[in-house]
Amino acid sequence: MVVTIIGVGLIGGSLALSLKAHGVAGSVIGVDQSAENLRKALELNLIDEGTTDLAAAVRRSSLVVVAVPMDAMLTVLPQVLDVVDQQVVIDVGSTKEKLLTAVADHPHRDRFVAVHPMAGTEYSGPEAAVPHLFEDKTLVICDAEHSHPAAVALVEKVFQQLQMRLVYLDAASHDVHTAYVSHISHITSFALALTVLEKEKEEQRIFELASGGFESTVRLAKSSSAMWVPIFRQNRLNVLDVLDEHLRQLQHMRDILQQEDYQAFTNLIEQANVIRKILK
């Protein structure tokens, strides 16, 4: 089938590669407001053709993927739904409640299936697109009951072909859980980078001494503000809630270290070690 991907960055570009590699997409039309991104996406063979004419691309497609930052998503998704007829439309966004509210009353709402592939990297743009990004990862499908069953069935089939695990959540639960297991990690990583850049004035020392552990915890601090500020904005209350809990936990560790209560510190680390059971 013909697939249109709007936004040929890390996620849109990686999805284009996967859909073609798994034989889901016969051809991929890329739509992007940046002519430069379209040029790169063509050069990298992410897409078969590029255009800025969104409506024409949508009309020629069976499946439309909207892979733009969450602030743009609020205006682009309704524009796409204005054009669709029998096409199936998905977003791949990291927050859901505001988006689903924005299209709740759209006459073509049932052509839209809200999904969130739990996969990504700290890089962005067409050059960041990689194959195999989605294999063995989770796809969250949100509020599936508001989509036409045939549209949901097509989306399920497509992402099963991409070897993803499917999980079903309502939009509100999705936003709570992603604040816990994704958004807070980005906040802590940004703050850790700022901390170390503030304290460690000798950049050469960071480079020399940083080991895998530091790189691992600070890796997400390379992520782009264009993608993440709209996510934090749309999931603000959930992010604030988990951030407040994180501040309490850190302050508690600080107080215990200040007081030299090493038995309590040991107990906290052993509680944290429970994460071993959950993550391989």
Residues between 222 and 241 with contacts to a copy of itself, criterion CB under 8 A: 222-225, 228-229, 232-233, 236, 239-241
Instruction: Tell whether residue 34 is a contact of a copy of itself (CB under 8 A).
Output: no
Per-residue x/- track, 172-191, a copy of itself (CB under 8 A): -----xx-xxx-xxxxxxxx
Instruction: Tell whether residue 107 is a contact of a copy of itself (CB under 8 A).
Output: no
Residue pair 57/83 in contact (Cβ under 8 Å)? The answer is: no
* Residue range at the interface with a copy of itself (CB under 8 A); choices 47-55, 56-64, 81-89, 246-254: 246-254
Query: CB 14 → a copy of itself: shortest distance, Å?
Result: 13
Residue 136 phi/psi, 5° resolution? 65, 15
Query: CB 47 → a copy of itself: shortest distance, Å?
Result: 25
Instruction: Tell whether residue 86 is a contact of a copy of itself (CB under 8 A).
Output: no
Instruction: Tell whether residue 23 is a contact of a copy of itself (CB under 8 A).
Output: no
Conformation bin of residue 160: beta by default, left when phi > 0, alpha when psi is -120 to 50: alpha
Residue pair 243/187 in contact (Cβ under 8 Å)? The answer is: yes
Query: CB 112 → a copy of itself: shortest distance, Å?
Result: 22
Instruction: Tell whether residue 247 is a contact of a copy of itself (CB under 8 A).
Output: yes
Name every residue whose Cβ is closer than 8 Å to that of residue 31 and which is 6 or more positions away in sequence: 4, 5, 6, 7, 8, 50, 51, 52, 53, 54, 57
Q: Which of residues 135-164 bind a copy of itself (CB under 8 A)?
A: 137-138, 140
Instruction: Tell whether residue 120 is a contact of a copy of itself (CB under 8 A).
Output: yes
The span from the CA of 217 to the CA of 215, in Å, is: 6
The span from the CA of 47 to the CA of 62, in Å, is: 16
CB of 2 or CB of 118, closer to a copy of itself: 118
